[in-house]
């Protein structure tokens, strides 16, 4: 059928012409096996029949008005011979007039409606049907006539109106546009909820892998995890878009499987490989992986791979996505799409890790508070503290077993009292105290102790420093080890070793950072526990030494019995202030001291045996120095006896009188024969204990020590309040014997007794006493 171009001047013309051209064009395409001699370019409008359409009343229906001008008609081809005049008053339906090529199709349709008064619905149906059935013409028109700027504007409008469906595509197909824009919000909300429920590096990684693979279009994919500190150790896990990331486990990849993976990781850039290009290094087809992704005929060999490395914040490759295609090879555009996604995905993983770091810091703060509480609770026992801290460490990194080695630099050995602690939550573990020693240069723990560096070993048996004897003896299989030094002031005091993560994973960088923070508290706790343990040991030694000292500085029981059995009366005038103490021996002086005590305070109120033992022990604790000896102490006590005996007005109450007499008898106990200044300048331990009145403080402490020994407390019959009061008076009196304090007081006393002073000494004034 021969066809012609024409111009439509009514709605019916547009519709009939569009429908007719579809029929004629389709018929010609179906029945013509090759191009006809008069084949038209798709750039030209399909022919529209002329003069066949009916015209409504009042419109141009005359055929004469539709004839073209003769001078132009000669230049037209035979396909244009029936077309009408291209006058400005006429409008070509599909070919814009000169000067209107930049108008869109919708603008042309608007001009049609305004020119001929067409309805919007009728015009829209006609134009849409026409363009839907003539895509070649539409493509040719857009390419040749529409400017690039306008095409870009159309493109961005299209992106804003539609979004990419993130569902995993079928095998080898790219992601298609989803035109249901109302599903954007539910999909986004669902993705946010999934990440909130399980926000982790792996969860973000799976979403990134799904996005990259769906955009590129692959048959299957898998992800490899790399360890920069151990380049030869690579693990892989499979994600099919439906796997629960919390249940994923990592498995070590075979060496021949990761040759190209390591190459892509080293390049830090995408890598495309086809089987025919590199058959030697091309890995074998993972048929099990293809079954997981439900690839049609999973037994077929895959021929093309695209590797996409994922960079971490430290600038090293952390993961590599391996994408497989069976037939279609990967092109440069696929590589570009994958690389672009990788950039933003790496940022997403980085900020995810930052969020997790903050969350981990908060959890770590709570965790360390529990550790500090436990430290103070278990400070009394170093072994219990070590066991408790190791339990916390196991919880922190989720380790199956733990050991702690203390460094013995004297013998160059590692010492462990808590070795191979098993993870048994909810059970109290009472360990048998067994000390294990090993050379400091042996095993991984020895290497950490000498180097001071943290070691994270994912495969223990591949490390030459690993000691397999423990596994062979116990039957336990060691897989991964995290070993860290415990330092105090830059010195390694111990090594803690975690073995095998309980979820069949390996210790990662997060475990290292967390454990490094924990090790600081571990070191402080261990250091103070050792100090506390050392103090406790010193205290035990002190108690033993005090027991020995008390034995040698305490009077013998036979001496007490001898003193009590001696009933001979003492013929001594004790009330004589000028009594010569050197006329009596020590035994007689002790009897005189007991008699003075009886006359002043009534011996019936005291236990005679206790008082006798006290006096004899005081005598024994005076050293045989030239002046500050027992003779001097007895002489001062006798002088105080005379003063108190002749105090008829009883200026001192009973408590003060008792304190004054006891302090006089004990005021120079264990005197070394040196002055306080000498003790300070020679850096004596006593001077370190007491900054002022060194010897006087020591005399008082020896007095209290004697009173606290069994059978020596002469004040046991009085109340605790009175006992504290008496001790306070004794302390005040003994400290007043320091000459540094005595001479200023002597000047004050002289002023009070000066006849020219208006204020005389008065016992009623507190400051004068």
Residue whose pair of structure tokens reads 């048959």 in the numeric block: 219
Superfamily of domain 382-528 in the CATH hierarchy: GAF domain (3.30.450.40)
| CA–CA distances in Å: residue 2 to residues 34, 63, 67, 79 | 17, 19, 18, 8
| Sheet hosting strand 317-325, strand order edge to edge | 251-252, 234-237, 220-226, 317-325, 304-311, 271-274
For the stretch 637-671, pLDDT in tens is: 999 999 999 988 778 889 999 999 999 999 999 99
- Kindly state the average pLDDT of the residues 395-418: 84
* Mean pLDDT, rounded, for 734-745: 87
171, 628, 638, 699: the active-site residue: 628
pLDDT for 452 beyond 80: yes
Sign of the torsion angle spanned by Cα atoms 653, 657, 660, 666: negative
Out of 109-113, 232-236, 468-472, 667-671, least confident range: 109-113
Tokens of 494: 């111990």
Token readout for 539 is: 């205290």
Domain with CATH 1.10.1300.10 in the chain: 557-737
> Residue 639 and residue 18: Cα distance in Å, rounded?
142
Nearest-angstrom CA–CA distance, 560 and 56: 151
pLDDT in tens, 299-310: 788 889 999 998
Give yes or no for a contact between 641 and 574, defined as CB atoms under 8 angstroms apart: yes
The string of pLDDT tens digits covering residues 720-739 is: 999 999 999 999 999 999 98
Q: Using an 8 Å Cβ cutoff, are 399 and 393 in contact?
A: yes
pLDDT tens across 593-617, in order?
A: 999 999 999 888 889 999 999 999 9
Binding site as annotated, residues = 632, 667-668
Q: What is the pTM of this model?
A: 0.45
- Asked about 698 being catalytic, the answer comes back as no
Q: Where in the chain is the domain with CATH 3.30.450.40?
A: 181-357, 382-528
Topology annotation, domain 181-357? Beta-Lactamase (3.30.450)
Write the CA distances from 438 to 395, 411, 413, 416, 537, integer angstroms. 27, 10, 6, 9, 25
Positions at the binding site for Zn(2+)? 632, 667-668
Its CATH architecture, for the domain 557-737, is Orthogonal Bundle (1.10)
Mean pLDDT value across the chain? 75
Kindly tell me if the per-residue pLDDT of 276 is higher than 60: yes
Percent of the chain scoring above 70 in pLDDT: 72
Mapped onto helix, strand or coil, the DSSP state of residue 539 is: helix
What integer pLDDT is reported at residue 760 of this predicted model? 67
Three-class DSSP category at 403: strand
């Amino acid at each position: 059928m021969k066809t012609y171009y024409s111009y439509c001047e009514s709605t019916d013309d547009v519709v009939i012409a569009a429908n007719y051209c579809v029929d004629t064009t389709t018929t010609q395409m179906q029945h013509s096996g090759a191009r006809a001699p008069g084949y038209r370019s798709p750039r030209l409008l399909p022919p529209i029949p002329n003069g066949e359409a009916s015209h409504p009343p009042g419109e141009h229906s005359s055929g004469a008005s539709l004839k073209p001008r003769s001078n132009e008609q000669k230049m037209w081809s035979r396909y244009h011979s029936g077309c009408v005049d291209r006058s400005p008053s006429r409008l070509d339906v599909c070919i814009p007039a000169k000067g209107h090529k930049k108008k869109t199709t919708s603008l042309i349709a608007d001009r049609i409606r305004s020119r001929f008064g067409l309805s919007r619905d009728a015009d829209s149906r006609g134009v849409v049907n026409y363009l839907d059935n003539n895509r070649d013409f539409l493509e040719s028109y857009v390419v040749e006539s529409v400017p690039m700027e306008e095409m870009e504007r159309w493109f961005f409008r299209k992106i804003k109106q539609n979004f990419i469906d993130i569902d995993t595509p079928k095998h080898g197909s790219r992601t298609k546009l989803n035109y249901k824009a109302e599903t954007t919000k539910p999909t986004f909300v669902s993705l946010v909820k999934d990440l909130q429920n399980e926000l982790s590096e792996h969860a973000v990684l799976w979403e990134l892998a799904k996005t990259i693979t769906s955009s590129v279009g692959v048959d299957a994919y898998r992800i490899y995890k790399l360890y920069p500190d151990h380049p030869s150790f690579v693990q892989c896990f499979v994600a099919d878009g439906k796997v629960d990331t919390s249940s994923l486990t990592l498995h070590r990849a075979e060496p021949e499987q990761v040759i190209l993976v390591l190459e892509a990781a080293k390049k830090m850039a995408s890598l495309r490989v086809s089987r025919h290009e590199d058959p030697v290094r091309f890995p074998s087809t993972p048929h099990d992986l293809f079954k997981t992704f439900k690839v049609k005929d999973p037994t077929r060999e895959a021929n093309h791979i695209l590797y996409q490395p994922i960079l971490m914040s430290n600038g090293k490759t952390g993961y590599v996505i391996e994408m497989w295609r069976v037939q279609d090879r990967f092109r440069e555009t696929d590589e570009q799409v994958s690389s672009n996604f990788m950039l933003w995905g790496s940022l997403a993983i980085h900020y995810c890790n930052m969020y997790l770091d903050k969350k981990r810091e908060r959890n770590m703060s709570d965790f360390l508070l529990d550790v500090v509480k436990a430290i103070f609770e278990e400070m009394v026992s170093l072994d219990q503290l070590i066991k408790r801290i190791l339990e916390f460490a196991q919880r922190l990194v989720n380790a199956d077993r733990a050991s702690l080695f203390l460094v013995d630099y004297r013998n160059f050995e590692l010492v462990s009292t808590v070795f191979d602690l098993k993870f048994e939550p909810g059970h109290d573990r009472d360990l048998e105290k067994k000390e294990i020693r090993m050379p400091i240069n042996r095993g991984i723990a020895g290497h950490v102790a000498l180097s001071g560096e943290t070691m994270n070993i994912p495969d223990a048996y591949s490390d030459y420093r690993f000691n397999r004897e423990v596994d062979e003896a116990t039957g336990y299989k060691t897989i991964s080890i995290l070993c860290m030094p415990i330092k105090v002031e830059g010195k390694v005091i111990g090594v803690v070793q975690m073995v095998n993560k309980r979820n069949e994973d390996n210790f990662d960088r997060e475990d290292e950072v967390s454990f490094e923070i924990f090790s600081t508290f571990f070191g402080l706790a261990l250091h103070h526990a050792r100090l506390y343990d050392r103090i406790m040991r010193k205290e035990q030694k002190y108690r033993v030494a005090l027991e020995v000292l008390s034995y040698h500085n305490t009077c013998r029981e036979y001496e007490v019995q001898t003193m009590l059995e001696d009933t001979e009366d003492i013929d001594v005038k004790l009330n004589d202030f000028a009594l010569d103490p050197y006329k009596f021996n020590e035994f007689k002086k002790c009897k005189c001291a007991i008699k003075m005590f009886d006359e002043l305070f009534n011996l019936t109120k005291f236990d005679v045996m206790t008082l006798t033992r006290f006096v004899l022990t005081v005598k024994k604790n005076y050293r045989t120095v030239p002046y500050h000896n027992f003779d001097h102490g007895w002489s001062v006590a006798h002088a105080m006896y005379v003063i108190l005996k002749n105090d008829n007005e009883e200026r001192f109450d009973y408590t003060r009188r008792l304190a004054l007499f006891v302090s006089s008898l004990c005021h120079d106990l264990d005197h070394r024969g040196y002055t306080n200044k000498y003790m300070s300048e020679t850096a004596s331990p006593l001077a370190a204990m007491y900054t002022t009145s060194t010897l006087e403080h020591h005399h008082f402490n020896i007095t209290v020590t004697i009173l606290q020994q069994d059978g020596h407390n002469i004040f046991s019959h009085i109340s605790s309040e009175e006992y504290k009061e008496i001790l306070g008076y004794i302390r005040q009196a003994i400290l007043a014997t320091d000459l540094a304090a005595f001479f200023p007081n002597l000047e004050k006393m002289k002023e009070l007794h000066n006849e020219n002073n208006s204020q005389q000494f008065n016992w009623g004034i507190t400051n004068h006493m």
